[in-house]
Amino acid sequence: MAGGASRSAPRVVILLGPPGAGKGTQARLLEERFGLVQLSTGDLLRAAVSEGTEAGQKAKAVMEAGQLVSDEIVLAVLKDRMAKPDTARGIILDGFPRTEGQARALDALLAAQGAEVTVAISLEVDDTAMVGRVAGRFTCAGCGEGYHDEFKPPRGDGVCDKCGGTAFTRRADDNAETVRERLTAYHAQTAPLIAYYQGKGVLRRVDAMGTIDNIAVAMAEALERESA
Ligand code: AMP
């Protein structure tokens, strides 16, 4: 357990890495294994866009351009989600924080609950492979399981392995041009957080260029060490 967190405080796991590094896939695996709840600010914002809320209307064009939504909007959707009781045991933050301002706001939010970041796992990848990884991905519309045309197609053609659903969705921002913008935003605004969490002594680096299963093993080890 990290220094200042109380015994009953929720575990807070942060996943850092560029688009395509596998944050969402790994968050779902950690969720099942460690009983944590995945909070993806990208998913929360996409839900706000499709519901047409005020935050969603403001975020839509920014997301389509592959840029970062304002800290104010992102923090508002995140705080709403963190207030739900299912987050009490612990959370995996996927895609948040993405700026130093968000990281500081998170520290303040957690401190008010007697909690702090347990571990920040940096998924280390080769950027040049990320465009291909992102451009081929799609999701089951029923259960949210993630797939990829080349690296993880469903076992049965057109049928979700998990729920048997047959409808799939592709994100509007998962095209090569927008992925390049998102990579630029990552390096300019988010990569500095690696040093931020290193300075706090909670950073763990995981080589995320291997198979989904091998990366999952390394992630679980990083988390188990922190929770011991
Ligand atoms: P993701 O699903 O994490 O790849 O996020 C998709 C898009 O949502 C990003 O390209 C941003 O436009 C926006 N977004 C998600 N999380 C954040 C965040 N923490 N801060 C700013 N923008 C975000």
Atom number, ligand 1, closest to the C-alpha of residue 43: 2
Which residue, by CA, sits nearest to atom 8 of ligand 1? 42
- Cα of 40 vs centre of ligand 1, distance in Å, is 9
Which of 68, 123, 134, 178 to mutate for ligand 1's pocket (most ligand atoms within 8 Å of CB)? 68
Residue 87 corresponds to which amino acid? Answer: T
- Please give the pLDDT value at position 9: 77
- Please give the pLDDT value at position 165: 97
Pull the structure tokens for residue 209.
């260029």
Whether the CB-CB separation of 75 and 8 falls below 8 Å is answered with no
DSSP state at residue 128: G
- Catalytic site residue from 23, 28, 60, 133: 23
Which of 16, 25, 26, 69 to mutate for ligand 1's pocket (most ligand atoms within 8 Å of CB)? 69
Annotation says 81 is catalytic: no
List, for residues 53-70, the tens digit of each pLDDT value: 999 999 999 999 999 999
- Catalytic site residue from 171, 180, 200, 205: 171
Q: Give the strand order in the sheet containing 168-169.
A: 146-148, 137-140, 168-169
The secondary structure element, H or E, covering residue 23 is: helix 23-34
Q: If DSSP codes are grouped into helix, strand and coil, which group holds residue 125?
A: coil
Annotation says 137 is catalytic: yes
Q: Which residues pair with 169 in a beta bridge?
A: 139
List, for residues 80-131, the tens digit of each pLDDT value: 999 999 998 899 999 999 999 999 999 999 999 899 999 999 999 998 899 9
- Please give the pLDDT value at position 6: 60
Q: In angstroms, rounded to a whole number, what is the distance separating the alpha carbons of residues 153 and 161?
A: 9
Ligand 1 contact, 28 CB (< 6 A):
no
Ligand 1 contact, 20 CB (< 6 A):
no
Whether the CB-CB separation of 193 and 75 falls below 8 Å is answered with no
Question: Which is higher by pLDDT, 132 or 3?
Answer: 132
